[in-house]
Structure 1
Amino acid sequence: MPTHNPPDTSALRIIPRDQHPISRRAISPNALRVLYRLHEAGHRACLVGGAVRDLLVGLSPKDFDVATDATPEQVKQLFRNCRLIGRRFRLAHVVFGREIIEVATFRANVDDGSGDRQVVDGGRLLRDNVYGTIEDDAVRRDFTANALYYDIADFSVRDYVGGFEDVNNRVLRLIGDPEARYREDPVRMLRAVRLSAKLGFRIDPGTAQPLPRLAPLLAEAAPARLFEECLKMFLAGHAEQSFEGLDRHGLLPVLFPETAAALAANRSGALRRMLLEGLRSTDQRVAREEPVSPAFLFAVLLWPAYCRTLMALQAQGLHAAEAERRAADRVTLHQLERVALPRRFSLPMQEIWLMQARFSQRQRKRVLRTLAHPRFRAAFDFLVLRRAASPAHEEDIAFWQEAQRDPDAAIATRPDDGSVEEGGAPRKRRRRRRRSHAAGE
């Protein structure tokens, strides 16, 4: 079991209230209630982690976590609206309507036999409920920027690991030996990329260096947990930068193996342009506080894999419609081995893909049926994204924009599949479109 350096109390730096920007006005009133009640009951009570970090850089935290020397059972005795959760990390949740204040007891690295810790596979933690001091708690956290404590007793910020300076310098640095910390919890590699993208921090070279080599450890993480990490990474307004970070640090081939392979094989770069445009659009929607569907997000992320698989199946002689269905199923099934995408998202994702072939059809009944499809709007938005990969989609986009306003007028003014091209030869529109569905991107 890898161990971290013992707490060095001489490294403690106390930043008094007049030397940091954190104001109680920026802290959730419910978090303040929890902090004050713990303090009044004689316990140490601090705001900790991402909330402190975000307040220091001028962001508005979404969650406010509390660290204390009170055990979960003691916290529950103080709050009637408290429930205890977790097996790996025993936590207290104090519930205020829709807001939950998470309260964690200070934890230690070294188990003297009185705690509850289970380690497997050369360092991976399954359970970690060994309680300790605030100094112990600081050195066992992941990044220095997340190991800062806002103490309600005197409104100071307490820094045991150099996190205050790293936040000011916009540096993301792991506490302790990076390889040991990644082996304890491989998902920390994704957190490094995500926090770097969110905060605009650079990853410290020592923290970044092991990432490509240790990336295969992500395959050991639970697929359900990786799905949750993907949502945090791509639905928080920093999707484009997160994707670039995954690619730059060698994590993309492990998290999205078939997408990574398809992007590497696509020499024109069209698939990458389309994918990045989709993530950019997602970030813009988040910035406007508009909803973003995980189904649409994964349709974007896995589209390169779908296109490559579809081309391979068509090269084997499969009929277009059958190849499309098989490609959608195959890509989804393979990705589920790594990221547990629930059916409520994977099925709409597949519908978005399969509807792309309909956009070259002009027959009246098919047009009306497509317009009435419950997934039409998402599929059309996806078609618009594909313009970033190929201008060949402009005609279809124009037709369906007009069809949404007036289907009869659109059908009357646009030629059908059987129209005649200049020179008298029948247009082979459907066949050309079916090939370009993947090959053009």
Structure 2
Amino acid sequence: MKNPFELVSLADAMTRYQIQQKIYEDEGDFDAFMEADSYFYVHEGDLQLDTDFILDTDLLTEGNPDTWIAGYIINGNLTVNGSVLNEEGDYGPTLLVTGNVTCRNFLIGGSAVNVEGDITAEEIVMLHYNHGWMCCGGTIKAPVFVGDDFHFVPERKDISDFYYHSNDPNSPEEHACYEDADDNEHIADALTPLLKNPYITSFEELCRRLSAGESVLKSANTPPHDEKYFYMIVQQNYRDLKTVPPEFKSKALCMLALEQTVFALEYFPAHFIDAEVVQLAVEKNGMALRHIPDTLITKELCYTAANNGGLLKTDIPERFYEYELLVAALRKKDFQIEVIPAPFMTEDLLVEYVKIGRGAYLDRYCKTYGISKQTVLNRVIAADIRYLQNIFGWHLSADTYQYAKSLYDHATHKTQWESFVQQFSTKIQRVVED
């Protein structure tokens, strides 16, 4: 947006507006959070904006890009023909408004905000996550108020349709979230009928829609959502496939989400997940198996999944385990040895485990299952000279060195042997001397 602000130093902001007394609990906290060489954008008098006021100082490009902007000061009323939006829950620029704020939606996360007058929102006031700080000297007025794990609890409020605050003991019990049939947290049933999209079931989903500058309440004077709208939101974030009403959730839309990630399968209608979709998804990422009906999983799919990052136990059902499949899985991610059942923990498997990489837990598994560690290492050494990289890197001892030397310190392997000896000379000298 065009910059309607002047740039003032922190010292000027403290002198002219006493911001050190108006942001955070006390001046000690202010000093701890504020950089001494920072600046503020200041608007003297009432300010009216015709677009959303997004709390992101990077959007105002005028001035020195190396100047640290701590936030905004509006010495007057703020009227926004849109919404005040602080999407990020962990941080955000400071906002001090000495008068009233009027907007469509008021979304605050990680910013430190003080509105000395009233806050009037046409639809929703939403405060999300506990890294932000806020104060309001007047009354908060809106049809809907949501405080989701946020410290500030309003003292004066005029909320007509729905009030919920996770940290307010006086928040109506019937407005609290609950766990649905899938053990996911679900917003209160009393809020759902107020939303333009009743398939929004979490505050995270609601926050995404607010962050996009959208009108979210059914009563708002905006047209209903259409197919084009749902294509747009799914293209932006596959998770919003979950919020698409059944009449708009086409296979083409689902496949659009699948192009982003196989985790979109979680939100597919069951009748869209057929053999063709399953094959496509597992070839894209083996973790797709976790969202595929059990009846469609085959041994061949498990091999494809193992070779494409699918995880044992989480993705690949144990009923398909066999030696070759477990080795394929280990070759992609060797930490999976931690979930391999005892009957499969054999000397052969541990040999392959060491060939793959570090073999970090070899000691543990040899002791647990009564397998000779030295036999495993000797077999790896004898398999091919290239495995000396793993042996000398992670399992070098006088025994492994001497056995490797007996096999490879001769003319046939002269170049490779001398290369390994040079690379690990310090370690070799230490174990030989010991």
TM score, norm. by length of structure 1? 0.31
Higher relative contact order (CA 8 A, sep 6+): 1
Higher strand share: 2
Higher helix share: 1
TM score, norm. by length of structure 2? 0.31
